[in-house]
Chain A
Amino acid sequence: MTSPLPNELTGPYLHVVPPAAAAIVPATDDLRLIVETCPDLMCVTEMDGTFRYVNPAFKAVLGHEPADLTGKLSLDFIHPDDVPGLIAAVAANPEETSIEFRFRNAAGEWVDVEMNRKLMRDAQGEPAGAVVTSRDITERRKADQRFRLLADHSPVGIYIAQDGRFVFVNPQFARYTGYAEEQLLGMKPLDLVLPEDRDYVRENAVQMLKGARSFEYEYRIVNRAGETRWIMESVISIDFHGRRAALGNYIDITDRKRAEELQQRTLAELARSNEELGQFAYVASHDLQEPLRMVASFTQLLSRRYKGKLDDDADEFIRYAVDGVTRMQNLINDLLAYSRVGTRGKPPEPTDCAYIFERVLANLTTAVQESGATVTAEGLPTVMADPTQLEQLFQNLIGNAIKYRGERAPVVSVTAADDGGRWHFIVRDNGIGIDQEYRDRIFVIFQRLHGKEEYEGTGIGLAICKKIVERHGGHIWVESDKGKGSAFHFTIPREGGSGQ
């Protein structure tokens, strides 16, 4: 045909309407209006696919004038690669066909369309042509592509499951499960789940389908290699090709779970170990005291019963024996005190150092009076600490400052300063001082620089101080010289210590 055919919405087939819609067919004028204002592409074709009529949308969407199309074969405008598929689809479903293909627009570009073709019969019931409605699905295609891009490159596993089977999985999901993408499609998601967790997962799926928004939960799967992995999944109900489906996001949290488990076990182990240590220390000291008590008691009874009946040597021997026992008992009690810094330590709480200082002064009243000591404090803050241990710390340091005095009456000062992230305390005295060379040794358990005749004590006080300070995450050291007094420094971090 060479002359352009009229682009008319007329013809025998317009009198044929699908029987079901007979009751509600609008008047012809309205029909015209509907077709002409429809934003989707609507056309009528001959049986061979020639355009008989195209609606104005062809111009709006594709830029084609009706004259360019009417009388032309539609197949000429369709991408050659899509033509065989279209022909086969129509042949398979002549009454109604749905398919997607690419259609050339006026600018020569390929546009993705989705077509719905319905066969029309004439008054005699013979096939007389088709009414075709199509839609530009470029945007939808782009959206699909964007989704695809996202899914392909996502470090998160993504899947879509419908009717209890996977209909889409992304590469990361395949990696997580150890199966290939092709293997997963058609597999049932529950088959991947560890048997013990299946009820839980099923329960959550039910909840999710009931319309709960998005849902996050953790469970275990068994991958292709047979390993159990922990998964955190977020799943939501979506519409997929017209029906309900589940869209899930998946990350492997096995490492995190293992770290958590390890941490739990370690903490439990630590707690148990501390408990054991505490019990051991108690039992050890308890059982050690028993025989000591025997020795002490009977030597004292001996001395008492036979007073005056034994010679001076005997008295002296007994005195040494009893003295030895007493010292042993003190050592055991001190060791117990030392071990309790760890096993009976309490978690840090806000502690007013000024108040602790007052308590310590009260505890040391006798020592202060006997020595004529002057003890002052300035700028003491509130810190995060175990109050009992802080009191022990202050008492040991201030007590030492008074004890290790020289000729003069002791003058002791306690100060504190804010040193960035920590409090820096100094306990200064004018006592006998410590030789530089022993600066570190004095903090070692039972290390003494003086005989027991000169100054009493077992040498555990500073070791306990060090343990307390370190338990709170701080440091302790001394600046001193023989004959020149001492300054004991220690730090306590502001936010509270490690609290072991």
Chain B
Amino acid sequence: MEVLLVEDSPGDVRLTREALKEGKVRNNLNVVSDGVEAMEYLRREGQYAGALRPDIVLLDLNMPRKDGREVLAEMKEDHSLKRIPVVILTTSEAEQDILRTYDLHANCYLTKPVDLDQFISIVKSVEDFWLTIVKLPRD
């Protein structure tokens, strides 16, 4: 399974990587650190020409250059990208962020817990649900 993690905090990248290691499914974690790189990766442009299409995107909201909301909007408007499930994984609990991202057709919204154990548990749940239970669109 190809997982694309779009996250600007190196610490959170590392934590997510550690958490995914503890999961059931073998997966390939690809990481980009902002929205611009995310779109380049998804469109296989420039340095990402050889990139594989992700089965799921874990998307942070607040990033420099281009933030998660813009990436989400662009993905869901692009015929070739809109079927890819997008899981929002962010520190924000703001009501308007939740509403806005669901308006933009995010598949689900998760707030990063402060506690390590809970964080690991959430990432494993995501992996469990989206990569083993759910039927993914095969393009």
A interface vs B, CB < 8 Å? 286, 289-290, 292-294, 296-298, 300-301, 329
Contact = CB atoms under 8 A, between A and B. Distances in A.
B15 interface: yes
B11 A294 contact: yes
Contact of B91 (A289, A298, A300): A289
Interface in B107-139: 112, 114-117, 119
A297 B11 contact: yes
A298 B11 contact: yes
Given A286-B91, A298-B11, A293 B114 contact: yes
A298 B18 CA distance: 11
Nearest to B11: A294
Nearest to A303: B116
Given A297-B15, A301-B15, A301-B18, A290 B116 contact: no
B94 to A, nearest CB: 8
B11 A300 contact: no
Contacts of B114: 289, 292-293, 296, 329
Contacts, number: 27
Contacts of B91: 286, 289-290, 293
B80 to A, nearest CB: 34
Interface residues of B, number: 12
Interface string B82-107: 00000000011000000000000000
Contacts of B119: 297
Contacts of B18: 301
Given A286-B91, A289-B91, A290-B91, A301 B116 contact: yes
Contacts of B115: 296
A169 to B, nearest CB: 60
A296 B116 contact: yes
Contacts of A297: 11, 15, 116, 119
A300 B19 CA distance: 13
Which of B9, B11, B92, B114 has the most chain A CB within a 10 Å cutoff? B114
Given A293-B91, A293-B114, A297-B15, 9 more contacts: A289-B114, A290-B91, A293-B112, A296-B114, A296-B116, A297-B116, A300-B116, A300-B117, A329-B114
Q: Which 8 A-B pairs have the closest CB atoms?
A: A300-B116, A297-B116, A294-B11, A293-B114, A297-B15, A290-B91, A301-B116, A301-B18
Contacts of A300: 116-117
B13 to A, nearest CB: 11
A300 B92 CA distance: 23
Contacts of B116: 296-297, 300-301
Contacts of A301: 15, 18, 116
Contacts of A286: 91-92
Nearest to B14: A298
Contacts of B11: 294, 297-298
A435 to B, nearest CB: 36
A204 to B, nearest CB: 46
A223 to B, nearest CB: 51
Contacts of B15: 297-298, 301
26 contacts: A286-B91, A286-B92, A289-B91, A289-B114, A290-B9, A290-B91, A292-B114, A293-B112, A293-B114, A294-B9, A294-B11, A296-B114, A296-B115, A296-B116, A297-B11, A297-B15, A297-B116, A297-B119, A298-B11, A298-B15, A300-B116, A300-B117, A301-B15, A301-B18, A301-B116, A329-B114
Contacts of B112: 293
A296 B112 CA distance: 13
A300 B91 CA distance: 19
Contacts of B117: 300
